Amino acid sequence: MDRIEFIVSSLKLPDSYSFLNLALLRRSSWKGIALLMALFLIGGSVPRSLPTRAQIIKSAVDLPDFNFFAWELNALGSAVFGDESPLKDGLEEDAQVGLVRAYFERATLISEKEVELDGLVSEEATATTGDAESETVQVTDQAKQWEGPAGDYTSVPGRGMMIEEARLELAGLRRRQSADRSLVEAILQNQIREEIREADLGLLGFVWPPVQFAFIEPPLKLTVSPRDRISTLHSRVLQADYDPVTLEESEHTIEAHTGLSAHISQIGGMAVFPAMVVESSSLKWVLETVAHEWAHHYLFLFPLGLRYASSDEATTINETVAEIVGVEIGERVWRRLYDTSAPSADPAAGSNDDMPCACSTADLWALTYEMEQSRWERYGRPLAFDFRREMRETRLHVDRLLKAGHVETAETYMEGRRRYFVAQGYPLRVLNQAYFAFNGNYGTGAASSNPIGPMLEQLREESDSLAHFFGQVRWFTSMADLEKALQANGE
């Protein structure tokens, strides 16, 4: 008796079930096995669970994720197996300052030469295609001398030679910049480390973690927010490849597929180790950014840094603390070594101690605006455009509209404000909920509307020193800790 016969006989079925004969059972068994095998083999075509929101967003972005593992391997390899410190032979402080100044002056020249070259190439393309609108093209001062009586730039002799000369000059500047880069990085690291030590921000008298950064083009940051409120639902770091057209297409695709708000932005630095910092022509900004990223490295050793991404609140506290520390340390280095302007006779002249108390961020900014407006009205002139004031006003109004449930009205308002900023010389590509979700993490910034920024600034003002402030906030885990610290100071 085979296995199937044994099973049927053991069931002791009544005669009424005689239709379950062995032949039918055998055929049914083999059909069942064949069906299971077929389903297994074509499993790829069987409907699976719906893709997650993260998968939808990732598939909508053309750029791959930034490879942090490869970056760290390369950076650590250079630190361990690379050449000795470029400062090993020693340089006098004046010589170091001179090298840094020359480096950033060259960065400015590179930026200007890039603009000039873009203009020459644009003019050449217009002339080659015979664009009917070529008469409206703005030419560089070098090209203007060749302008014909009818504004015809197609007859400019030697434009190709001008382009080639600009390219060669730009390449030479970049080679010199590359040759000096590691030395300038080492000098700035030492200068910032010394200021951190003087401020007593290290551990047991040592500056730890060490100040380490590299000039690179940092990756891009994708932020996704709900449309009915400003909050970070999803974020990812993308490979550095800034192309406004591609980024805008990715943002629109995400919004169409998820119904959320998306924004992809360039960032000034990242607190990986070594920190990534944009090679800007602004030395003061670089000093502040390097110190800002070091503050993040330090905080990762304490509860505040460990809870960085646990909530929007924790992220904002982290970023605001790093901003306060970074700006103060960068400012100290700048004043000690690079600022050539005359020092102020009264350091407290710019303080706002006499300003009436404001209980919220909205009250504070409204009060500031009113004071400035009244000051300008005395002279019969409108208040001059101020990006921080206008952006803060925009954020506060958007918050009010979203809280009232007027999502589409808020989006229409933001687009109108974006065009206004562009008209004022601030070329914002996107202004939406995701823009505010990303930029609002910096509590002292214009795009923030929560009270964390003013509260932390108040705590810094009430602290005996920057070290005292930093020593307090590193143990914070929530806004409640910040409120307790302020309350304790007031007692």
The order of strands in the sheet holding 213-215 is: 213-215, 275-277, 269-270
Q: Which residues pair with 192 in a beta bridge?
A: none
Overall pTM > 0.75:
no
- Angle, vertex CA 486, rays to CA 485 and CA 490, nearest 5: 115
Does the pLDDT value for residue 327 go beyond 60? yes
Q: Please, which contacts does 206-209 make with residues 24 or more away whose CB atoms are closer than 8 Å?
A: 208/298, 209/273, 209/294, 209/297, 209/298, 209/301
Residue range 445-464: mean pLDDT, rounded:
80
Provide the 8-state DSSP code for 140: -
Read off the tokens for 111.
Answer: 């930026």
Give the model confidence (pLDDT) of 232-247 as tens digits.
999 998 987 766 677 8
CB 289 within 8 A of CB 269: yes
At residue 336 the predicted structure's pLDDT band, cuts being 50, 70 and 90, is very high
CA 143 distance to own-chain centroid: 37
The number of C-alpha atoms within 13 Å of 229 and in the hemisphere containing its C-beta is 5
Confidence of residue 445 (pLDDT cuts 50, 70, 90): low
Distance CA 251, CA 78 (A): 36
**Interatomic CA distance for residues 374 and 230, integer angstroms:** 32
Can you tell me the distance from the alpha carbon of 429 to that of 247, in angstroms, rounded to the nearest whole number?
10
Average pLDDT value for residue range 315-326: 92
User: From the CB of residue 204, how many other CB atoms can be counted at a distance below 10 Å?
Assistant: 5
Q: Of 332, 78, 108, 120, nearest to 213 (Cα)?
A: 78
Q: What is the pLDDT of residue 270?
A: 77
pLDDT at residue number 184: 95
- If you search the block for the tokens 């991404």, which residue do you land on? 309
Confidence of residue 167 (pLDDT cuts 50, 70, 90): confident
pLDDT digits (tens, 9 = 90+) for 97-117: 999 999 999 999 988 887 777
User: Nearest 5°: CA angle at 456, between 454 and 461?
Assistant: 90
Contact status, residue 60 vs residue 253, Cβ threshold 8 Å: yes
Tell me what pLDDT residue 79 has: 63
Higher pLDDT residue, 425 or 139? Answer: 425
* Low-confidence winner among 205-209, 275-279, 437-441 (lowest mean pLDDT): 437-441
- Write down the pLDDT at residue 414: 94
Contact assessment for residue 119 and residue 138, using Cβ atoms and an 8 Å cutoff: yes
Residue with tokens 């108040």: 458
Q: How far is CA 283 from CA 103, 186, 337, 376, in A?
A: 9, 14, 11, 33
Place of tokens 């065009």: 419
